[in-house]
Chain A
Amino acid sequence: MIQPYIEILPQLLKGANTTIQILIASALVTYSVAFIAGLGKISRFKLVRGVTTFYVEIFRGTSLLVQMFWIFYALPAFGITLSPFLAGVITLGLNYGAYASEVVRGAIQAIPKGQTEAAIALNMSRWHRMTRVILPQAIRIMLPGFGNISIELLKGTSLVSLITLADLTFQGLIIRNTNLSYTFHVFISLLVIYFLIALPLIILVRKLENRAAKGVAK
Chain B
Amino acid sequence: MSWDWEFAIEIFPELFNVIWLVIGITFAAYAVALIFGLVLTFGRRSKFKPLALVTYGFIEFVRSTPPLVQLFFVYFALPQLGITMDKYVAGILTLGIHYSTYVSEVYRSGIESIPKGQWEASRALNFSKTQTWFRVILPQSIPPVIPMLGNYLLVLFKETPLLGAIGVLEFLTRAKNIGSASFSYLEPFTIVGLLFLVLSYSSSIMIQKLEKKMKKVHVRTN
Q: Is the CB of B64 within 8 A of A195?
A: yes
Q: Does A129 contact B (CB under 8 A)?
A: no
Q: Is the CB of A61 within 8 A of B200?
A: yes
Q: Does A74 contact B (CB under 8 A)?
A: yes
Of chain A, the residue at the smallest CB distance from B78 is A184
Q: Does A94 contact B (CB under 8 A)?
A: no
Bits for A170-214, please: 1 = Cβ < 8 Å to B, else 0: 001100100000011011101100110011011000000000000
Given that A73-B176, A73-B179 are contacting pairs, would A158 and B189 also be in contact in the complex, using a CB cutoff of 8 Å?
no
Bits for A137-166, please: 1 = Cβ < 8 Å to B, else 0: 000000000000001001111110110000
Q: Which residue of the partner chain, among B65, B172, B179, B201, contacts A66 with CB atoms under 8 Å? A: B172
Q: Does A58 contact B (CB under 8 A)?
A: yes
Q: Is the CB of B80 within 8 A of A155?
A: no
Question: Within B60-81, which residues are at the interface with A (CB < 8 Å)?
Answer: 60-61, 63-70, 72-73, 76-77, 80-81
Chain B residues lying within 8 Å of A58, measured Cβ to Cβ, are 197
Chain A residues lying within 8 Å of B201, measured Cβ to Cβ, are 57, 61
Q: Is the CB of B64 within 8 A of A73?
A: no
The segment out of A29-37, A75-83, A103-111, A113-121 that lies at the interface is A75-83
Q: Does B161 contact A (CB under 8 A)?
A: yes
Q: Is the CB of B185 within 8 A of A67?
A: no
Chain B residues lying within 8 Å of A161, measured Cβ to Cβ, are 68
Q: Does A65 contact B (CB under 8 A)?
A: yes
Q: Does B19 contact A (CB under 8 A)?
A: no
Q: Is the CB of B76 within 8 A of A187?
A: yes
Q: Is the CB of B161 within 8 A of A155?
A: no
Q: Which residue of the partner chain, among A70, A159, A169, A172, contacts B189 with CB atoms under 8 Å? A: A70
Of chain A, the residue at the smallest CB distance from B194 is A62
Closest CB-CB distance, B48 to chain A, in whole Å?
24
Q: Which residue of the partner chain, among A73, A151, A190, contacts B69 with CB atoms under 8 Å? A: A190
Q: Does B193 contact A (CB under 8 A)?
A: yes
Interface centre among A63, A155, A190 (most CB of B within 10 A): A63
Give the bracket for the number of chain A residues in contact with chain B: 35 or more
Chain A residues lying within 8 Å of B72, measured Cβ to Cβ, are 169, 172-173, 187, 190
Closest CB-CB distance, A188 to chain B, in whole Å?
7
- The A interface is mostly helix, strand or loop, or mixed, namely helix
Q: Is the CB of A63 within 8 A of B185?
A: no
Q: Does B160 contact A (CB under 8 A)?
A: yes
Question: Within B159-208, which residues are at the interface with A (CB < 8 Å)?
Answer: 159-162, 164-165, 172, 175-176, 179, 184-186, 189-190, 192-193, 196-197, 200-201, 204
In whole angstroms, how far apart are the Cα atoms of A58 and B200 in the complex? Answer: 10
Chain B residues lying within 8 Å of A191, measured Cβ to Cβ, are 61, 65, 69-70, 73
Q: Does A39 contact B (CB under 8 A)?
A: no
Interface centre among A76, A158, A184 (most CB of B within 10 A): A158
In whole angstroms, how far apart are the Cα atoms of A15 and B204 in the complex? Answer: 37
Given that A62-B196, A74-B189, A77-B185 are contacting pairs, would A184 and B64 also be in contact in the complex, using a CB cutoff of 8 Å?
no
Q: Does A64 contact B (CB under 8 A)?
A: yes
Chain B residues lying within 8 Å of A173, measured Cβ to Cβ, are 72
Given that A77-B186, A183-B77, A187-B76 are contacting pairs, would A63 and B161 also be in contact in the complex, using a CB cutoff of 8 Å?
yes
A-B contact pairs, 28 of them (CB 8 A): A61-B196, A62-B158, A63-B159, A63-B161, A65-B161, A66-B196, A69-B172, A69-B176, A73-B179, A74-B190, A76-B185, A154-B64, A154-B66, A155-B64, A155-B67, A157-B66, A169-B69, A169-B72, A172-B69, A172-B72, A184-B77, A187-B73, A188-B73, A190-B72, A191-B73, A194-B64, A194-B65, A194-B69
Knowing that A74-B179, A187-B69 touch, tell me 4 more A-B residue pairs with CB under 8 angstroms: A62-B193, A155-B67, A159-B68, A195-B61
